[in-house]
Structure 1
């Protein structure tokens, strides 16, 4: 059994670690941090980023008679961002202040050219980050390849962590990586006693040190969260759900990890999606509070060196369906947050765009993909880490990076 498979098996749901001492070094001051947030289920980007230009607005309202977000200035209307776009009103107290401080940008018409409209197929394709026409290698995710590129250069202390109960495809590969679900922290599937028993089984074998390292890292992370968990049990934090998890992630990334991944589910809104209020609005509000809490918890210094990218497997149909929801679509909207976004990029809607009309829709139903995700992320990585084209190519083979001037 390979040592990575062994540790993932014995610590599934708690912590899977294949790291040596170097991989767990504390991020240096001024060292870039990246968190990828994956919204699984394909969120409705046309409710998040609302078209407000006159003709596009008329088309939007006619296409969504029961779920459209009202125009800016109307009751429960979109929050104006520029002459073309508005923001869902549920994000007025969380994401809008970050946008106004130029710490948030949106990239519409983004995504992957996969046309399966299958959650699982497209999620896998995005996490792998491989060419569409290439045979899939499920042992090589794009974040792991990024970690390998960074680990081979001057940023050799890169420390990847997935805040999930299993190691995601994006972080599978040769570079050391770990995972820990913060939503269930304190209830590990492998208890301390079980850990001691498992470790004793490997005493005197070549795997003994690796097993000990895996449990040691898990125990250290759990200890670092103990004080916060005790406060939460007395409702000291005042929030629930994702914000609590996001604040935990921030503390860990501020002090220890510099390449993070988290996924958030519940975005498949075929039925009863709602508009300014309802299930989608509630989820957006919770996510917004979580991301704003993450930024606050990082603190000004670390936040300036941190970038958060929010992606989803695809968008949803521009027109609502017969169940007051939306179905699987194509292009979506990516979010990029960070205290160090370039002044000309923060507080803007970036990338190639098209005026919304029936003719502009892909297959007469969806947002088109004009900003291919590997090109977008490749351009961001080049800026964030100073990667050469050859280094970007080792993360995303055959891709020409799209430089949106984010950093």
Structure 2
């Protein structure tokens, strides 16, 4: 079911190219590498992105607009709400998601029943981004247990062709993207791992464990006129889908699927032999760079060390928050630290522009920002947190789910 608000709508009242594509399989033998036929581009207009999570046997998807608004440069830290289920149910809101004020009466957004504001002025300030990004959804779509699918209907995005991109050759585009991907490798891996375990939400891990091929697809868009490495590409959308759904969405890649699946089978068998009972699944990773250029790989998914952890109420919501945090970081050139079990304040490396108005020049400097500060910017941009876990707890979560290797 789609639920879109028009740009001019008021906030709801608060409530109490033609050649064969290049495919690079870096994690499988050269003999299994293949080329992928270009997908058929669609003439549909691009539309604002949205966050979407669909039931495990179908899709896990998170989609974002191509040009995200610049983050605020305020250094305020996000309050760390309590983490127990009882407190989560009793105290649904402890601070304003717009100004961050605590200790005041707050009311939930009448559209999504998640975002909380202390005044109508704060809601109006947050509404343009809260609505544009698709974060404001009906409250009945928030309940995973009462719907077979929840979230907006998947949309096919028309990605740029080579002639529309800032690159003169495919090799130039690929080289640029490889540098960008290495820059944000932690965030992309965290997104894949968190989304893979969202497929297990409710214990539905059967499809993956049975070997049904699933593809984690990053739809990338090159940015024009931005020479900074960390901002040279934007993550338009991210999703995990069964491979047959992907081939239906992009029929042009279907002829190459036999060789792709042969490579996936070989890698999955190698992982299964190496990890034994700890092995759960192997995801195909695909970075959709331009309309007919891909970068393929594989990602191991291990059986959770404590399967019961995935059934605890805060965990699926925290995984969604973590994916959105990573998506925000990638699009704003914020390099995330590696998740760990350490109880510490995680420090990111963020880029901040410095503009010389006299000479009309622009430079970028790297600064350290706490992950709490980054999460605060995401919330101030209009994202309503789904869980009450702090950023430290979210970064610890994946390490708790993963068994030690």
Same fold (TM over 0.5): no
Q: Which has the higher contact order (CA 8 A, sep 6+)?
A: 1
Larger strand share, 1 or 2:
2
**TM-score (norm. length: structure 2):** 0.28
